[in-house]
Structures are given as C-alpha cells and as structure tokens.
Chains A and B, each alone.
Chain A
Amino acid sequence: MAYDFSLVSSKMKSSKIRELMKYASMPGVISFAGGMPDPDNFPFDDVKSIINNWDVKSSKIAMQYGTTNGYGALVEDIIKRMTTVKHINPEGQGVVVTTGGQQGLYLVAKIFLDPGDVILVEDPTFIGGMASFLSCQAQVVGVSLEDDGVNVDELETTFLSLKKAGKNVKFFYTIPNFQNPKGSTMSLGKRKKLYELSKKHNLVIIEDDPYGDLFYTGTSEDYLPVKSLGNDAPIIYIGSFSKVLSPGFRLGWIYADDIIIDKAALAKQSIDACSSSFGQVIASDYLKLGKIDDYLTKMRAVYSKKKNVMMEMITQYFPESVKVTNAKGGFFIYAKLPDGISGNALFLRTIKENVAFVTGEPFHTDPVTGDQHIRLSFSNSSDDEIKKGIKIIGDTITAMIKEM
C-alpha cells in the first residue's frame, strides 16, 4: 500500500545525535556524545527499597491510571521546591507533570504554535527543543548566544522587526543555566534585562532548566531562574528529573500560569493521558526521603571533578586556536575549532580511533557555522576515558592543522 503521510512528517528528520549514538554505543568506543547522566551514581538502592516499601494504598496508586496533571503528592513536592529552592512566587502558578522535560517542550509547541508562526531561539540551541517546535511547523529564528547568555538587545531588535514584518512571534526559548550545547550561563544582568523585555512586549519565555541544580561553582542563588524575578512576565518554566534522579523514568514538569497549565493538561490528555504513576510515586517518595539535597551535593562533586579533568586535558592537548567555554555546571564543554577545520571531518577521523562526540552542526541555525564546533560531554565518562579520548581528539586536531 502507498502511504500518504502528512506534510509535517515528510519534513521531519531523524535526530543526527540519535544516528551518531549508534557509533557511540558500540563497545570499546569512548563517547563524549550522549549527554547522559553518570549511571554509577543512580540512587537505585533507594528506588528499589521505595518500591518494596509500598503499602496497599501506595501500590494501588502506583499501579493505576493517574490524573493528567500528575500525582498530587508529587505536584506539591514540586511546588515546594520551586518556591523554596528556586524562589519562584507560587501565586497563580500551577504544575503539570510531563513525560520528561522533552514532553514539556512538545506541549508548549502544541499549545502555542500554528504553522508559520515564528519562535526565537538561542543560536546554538538544544536540538530536542528545535525538533518539537519544527514538528508543529514553526519557523525558527536564531539570536546570538554569548558566553554570558543570549544577546538581549539583538533579541529585542529581532523580535520587533519580525513583528513589524507581520510575523506571529510566539515565544523565545532559552536555557539560561549551563546551556546545551554551549555550556554558557546567563548573567544576572541579562536575566533582569530579559525579564523586563518579556514583560514590556508580553513575549512568552520558555525557560528550560534541566541542569540548574548541577552547578560547580558558587551557590544555588547564583543560578535562580529568570522566572524567579517575578510573575509579571509570561514565563513558562520547564524542569526535569532526568539529570537529578534518573532519565529512565521520563519525568519532568511545567511550572507556569494556571491558564497555561490548563491548556497543557488538555493537550497532554490526548498525547499520553498521564505520565507513569509508577514513576511519579517513586519520585515523590524519593523526595520525601529528604536525601535529594545530599545527593545533589554529591553529584555536583562527581561531575565537577570530571569536568576539571576534561578541562585540564583540553588545556594540555588542544591547540590554542581551539576556543572552549568553561561551563559553570551541566554536562557540556563546547569547542570552536580553528578556521578551516570541520567538526564532521574531525569526527570521521576520531571515530576510527574509537572516540565519539557530536558536531555543532545540528544545534546551529546555520549548519556551516555549526560544523566549526564540537560538543564534548564529560558526564558519562570515567577519568581514564576522558584522559585518553581528549588526547586523541587534540592530537587529531593538531594533525589536521598541519595538513592544511
């Protein structure tokens, strides 16, 4: 039978990272590609005992369909953390628990985007975000991302000129903390400016913050969400349990104005009815154990050490003409290669020596600029792998420079 696909599906592309992951997951390959948490430290003993300790009541909730907005106890826990840890004023705000932060992005795409609408993104930005927005047929426009966050002035000019051209600009998507892929963090000054801009123009901001708890310098107060600046600007916060508990559960949340939450829940009903109650009861019980803060402290130390090893190796083995961002948190170091060196070409050489990473290409609105970059994730590699892998990448870049 000849299948007649929808227009949008004929335009959809498979994620390049997913394709590359095939190499990365081959045995013997040192992979800086994935952006996966470190599995050695998952709290699986806690999770195991939580499941074994369920009484009849908890196990019935954990095995039954749940409400679309999420398991009540977990929703309360999330609001509490959003209030006490992230300093967001809970007034008029609500939660919908999502199937990973990724579904949060899909839901905002569903509720805001008509075909042809424009959205603004940091350039480069997270490909999963772009994939969701493109799947709802939006037009994506990039705004320069600097080491201290998006260029807010450029954001405003771009927004205004698009408006003037009659475009429907629906939102600006940002990852203020330890951005994926760039590793950059938005300064407090820019956060304030962005908040004011959003308020002034009523420009919706999608604030994606899966890494915010994983900072390696300073304190939690240094990385408070833009949304914590007040409730007078339309800011939709998206959180995730993937990097702080486990990605296998697929749990995240949207925290936003009740009107948005109602729409998101309505869309979610038809998308998957509810997120796993099984996972939600575990997450809620885990938060109730009161171990999360100690766990995060531990994980910050674990990742910070890996990052330092990677940075040391980069200093030692990468030619000086490679420019890297020294991330203050998160999972990624982003490197700009010397002129004339292609990320894809580099990949094809290092993969022969069993070292994988992702090139910047899919993250940028301009693939040529993208190809001048590579993203190195340190989160899921041992010190030895980092040492070995970075040396190989560095040596290969040096060799390619010589060959030019």
Chain B
Amino acid sequence: MIAKRMTNIPKSFIREILKVASNPDIISFAGGLPNPGLFPVQEIQEASNKVFSSDGMSALQYSTTEGYLPLREYISARYKEKENLDISPDEILITNGSQQGLDLLGKVLIDDNDGVIIEKPGYLGAIQAFSMYNPEFYPVSLENDGVDMKELTTIIENNAVKLFYGIPNFQNPSGVTYSTEKREQIAQLLDKRNVLFIEDNPYGELRFMGGTKKSIKSYLPDSVLLGSFSKIVSPSLRLGWIAAPQTILEKCIIAKQASDLHTNYLSQRILYQYLTDNNLDNHISKITATYKMQRDIMVQSINTFFPGNIEYTKPEGGMFLWITLPNGMSAMKLFERAIEKGVAFVPGKPFYVNDNSDTTLRLNFSNVTGENIQKGIEIMSKIIRFD
C-alpha cells in the first residue's frame, strides 16, 4: 500500500535519540537547537503588536506563494551589503524553513537514479529529503578545509552527476568550513562539468572567529543558495529561502503550491517588522559571543579530559563539533554507556549514506550551559578512558 519512496528514507535514529535526550536530567549534546536564552522574545512581541495594530486583517489572510515581497527585498539587500552579491527579490522564494527548500529542489531536479554528490558525513535532513526522490548518492570525504578535491574530481569525471549538495560554512555535522581556494576550485570544476551546486548556508552568519568567506554562488552565479532565519532569529517561525536562477525558482514555486500553498504569512510579517525595528547584526553578535564561549569550553574540556588519540574539529562558527575516535572504538557503544551516565550525543552513523563507519560522533554546544559542557565531556572521557 505504501509508496516505495517511503522505504528509501533512512529511519530517523536521531529522532529516537532526541526523545531520550529530552529528559531534563540528561546533558544533551545531541540536538541541533539554538540557545533559547538568546531568542528575541520581547522584540518579537513588540513586532507582532505593531503588525496587528497596523495590518492585522491581512496578516492573518492567505498570501502569495513567492512570499512577502518586503522580506524578499530585505534578503536581497543583505546579500548585497554582506557579500556584494546580486540576487534580485524575484530570485528568492520564502520557504517553510530551509528544510522545505531541500524537498522542493529534490522534487524539481531529481529523477530515479540521478547522481547526487553529498558530503561525507552529510546533513541528515538533506539525505532524507533527497532519498524520497531515489537518487544515486556519491558521498565525497570532508577534510579540514572542505571536500577532498581529488575524490570530487574523480566522481564527477566518472559518473553522470546532476548536482552537488554542500554546506561550505560550519557544516552539519562536522563543523568544517571550506577554504577560499576550494570554493574557487569547486566553482570552476562544476561550471566546466555542468553540475548544479546547491549551497546550504544556515550557519554562515554564526562565525565567531576567523575571516568571512564568500559563498560559492558568488563564484558560480547559476547555482542555488539556501538560507534560513532559524539560527539567527528563531526556528519556530519556520522561515527560510531559496535563492536561485528564475528558471529553477519558477518550478519550485509551482511545486510549493502543491505542497502547502505558501509560507506562514503571519510569521513573515512579524519577522519583517522585527528586522525593520532592530539591528540584526547586533543580535547576531550576541549569539556568536555566547556560542564562542560555549565552543571554547567544549574545546578546552576535550583538550583537558580526552585522551590524545582522539581527533576533533575546531569550528570557527556554527553549533557543532565532530569527534573521530581511534580505530577499534565504537561510537555506538560509547553512546549506550554515556546515556546510562546521563550524557547524550549523536553517533556518526546516520550521517553516512552507504558506509558503516562507527568511529565518529557529533557534539552540539549551542544548547548546553558551560558548566554542563564541562561535566558532560568529563563523563564521556571517563567512559573512553576506563571502559
């Protein structure tokens, strides 16, 4: 009875983990939630009061599929200001979080067995969304400065590949950021080979150290760029966007009509009001200052407590850090022990498409207090050292 595509989706092990981890007695490095202490609650309340006083009737009505034009203009202007990137409001579709962008792009681009390159380890939400369209995945290894270029080139040269989905800034799950050289090389290679790049950038503005890097779209204007307000304002508004050439965007708009008509209009109006009345950059610097502190505590705790043969990434932004255990050690086993001792994280397995690697794991630091980060890492290190 059930459609075949449903059997393609990896069962969400993470969902099970998050259920366990939601127990308040557990120190959870498992989720990917922003720090709720930083939500601009009062400002959003004020913004909503303004929207209701000025235009309550229309804010609650049906609206257009493309999204609220002033919000699209804001996004367009911000690209210009931050990166000198020319993306017109007509090339922007507001989506129900950038997660929806992944489903829409999967729908308009992927047929059965089409080649899709994805990072190894890759973002689970993208693996799930694309799996619905039954592609042939080509995972490409991540190094500390982005994907392994040799591997990428070999894959592209030897296979019919349609698109490459990547997260160049503070990747989920690894925390890795692509170097400028690799960004340029990727743009050149994909351009030459006519492979579409889908650049997912929900964390790019959460840089707390190092220099900003240009998006790959600035080297490759024909590519697709996804953005989101989830990590810089609030995820519950469910507001993200697709920035893409109009030929692609038009298809996404039609697909979105069949999917949910349009994105929550009240959220769009309130968010736009918030962005008009507040300085987003100031708000983001509060977030990055906090995340840097949390990240530093995590890096220091790992440095202090973990044995030296454990590798870890040192992210320059975002919300995640990635651990590689020495060969022979199992992340799944570590997970089982850690849960017993009140600490949760996500073992690396679900982030690999066709690989049974069990030596990696993801730690989230944005939603844990400094004290608990230290405590949790210490508990993990005891298990690693003595079990």
Contact = CB atoms under 8 A, between A and B. Distances in A.
Interface of A: 1-9, 12-15, 18, 34, 36-37, 39-40, 42, 44-45, 47-48, 51-52, 54, 56, 59-60, 62-66, 68, 98-100, 102-103, 106, 110-114, 117, 128, 131-132, 134-136, 170, 204, 242, 246-250, 263, 266-267, 269-279
A248 B62 contact: yes
A110 B5 CA distance: 8
Contacts of A44: 52, 56-57, 59-60
Interface stretch (B233-241, B301-309, B339-347, B369-377): B233-241
Contacts of B45: 51-52, 54, 59
Nearest to A130: B258
Given A249-B264, A270-B129, 14 more contacts: A1-B194, A3-B247, A8-B111, A9-B254, A44-B57, A48-B56, A63-B234, A111-B6, A135-B258, A246-B61, A250-B262, A270-B103, A270-B132, A278-B236
A247 B3 contact: no
Interface string B58-79: 1111110100000000000000
B109 interface: yes
B30 interface: no
Given A59-B39, A247-B60, A273-B97, A6 B111 contact: yes
Please tell me the size bucket of the interface on B.
Answer: 35 or more
Nearest to B110: A6
Interface in B40-98: 41, 44-45, 48-49, 52, 56-63, 65, 95-97
A64 B258 contact: no
Given A248-B62, A270-B132, A40 B103 contact: no
B133 interface: yes
B65 A65 contact: no
Contacts of B100: 271-272
B107 A279 contact: no
17 contacts: A1-B194, A1-B222, A7-B111, A13-B254, A59-B41, A60-B36, A65-B235, A112-B2, A112-B3, A113-B3, A114-B3, A117-B3, A248-B60, A249-B266, A270-B128, A276-B237, A276-B264
B293 interface: no
Contacts of A3: 109, 196, 245, 247-248
A112 B235 contact: no
A274 to B, nearest CB: 7
Contact of B255 (A135, A242, A273): A135
Contact of A9 (B5, B109, B194): B109
Contacts of A48: 48-49, 52, 56
Contacts of A271: 99-100, 103, 129, 259
Interface of B: 1-6, 9, 11-12, 15, 33-34, 36, 39, 41, 44-45, 48-49, 52, 56-63, 65, 95-97, 99-100, 102-103, 107-111, 114, 125, 128-129, 131-133, 162, 191, 194, 196, 222, 230, 234-238, 245, 247-248, 251, 253-255, 257-267
A270 B9 contact: yes
A14 B267 contact: no
Contacts of A170: 1
A230 B336 CA distance: 43
Contacts of A247: 60-62
Given A64-B235, A271-B99, A249 B108 contact: no
Contacts of B103: 270-272
Contacts of A63: 36, 39, 41, 44, 234-236
A34 B49 CA distance: 28
A8 B61 CA distance: 30
B200 to A, nearest CB: 14
Nearest to B63: A248
Contact of A248 (B6, B44, B266): B266
A256 to B, nearest CB: 13
Main secondary structure of the interface of B (DSSP, over half): helix
Among B230, B238, B267, the one with the most A-chain Cβ atoms within 10 Å of its Cβ is B238
Contacts of A9: 107-109, 251, 254-255
Among A6, A103, A204, the one with the most B-chain Cβ atoms within 10 Å of its Cβ is A6
A132 B235 contact: no
Contacts of B109: 3-6, 9
Contacts of B266: 246, 248-249, 278-279
A102 B236 contact: no
B265 A248 contact: yes
Contacts of A47: 52, 56, 60
Going nearest first, the 8 A-B pairs with the smallest beta carbon separation are A44-B56, A277-B236, A131-B258, A246-B60, A270-B128, A9-B108, A39-B57, A270-B129
Among A37, A52, A54, A272, the one with the most B-chain Cβ atoms within 10 Å of its Cβ is A272
Given A39-B60, A66-B236, A246-B60, A273 B99 contact: yes
Contact of A12 (B1, B62, B191, B254): B254
A250 B3 contact: no
B261 A128 contact: yes
Contact of A106 (B1, B11, B49, B259): B259
Contacts of B129: 270-271
Contact of A270 (B57, B125, B261, B262): B125
Among A1, A42, A249, the one with the most B-chain Cβ atoms within 10 Å of its Cβ is A1
A363 B9 CA distance: 33
B248 A102 contact: no
A248 B67 CA distance: 12
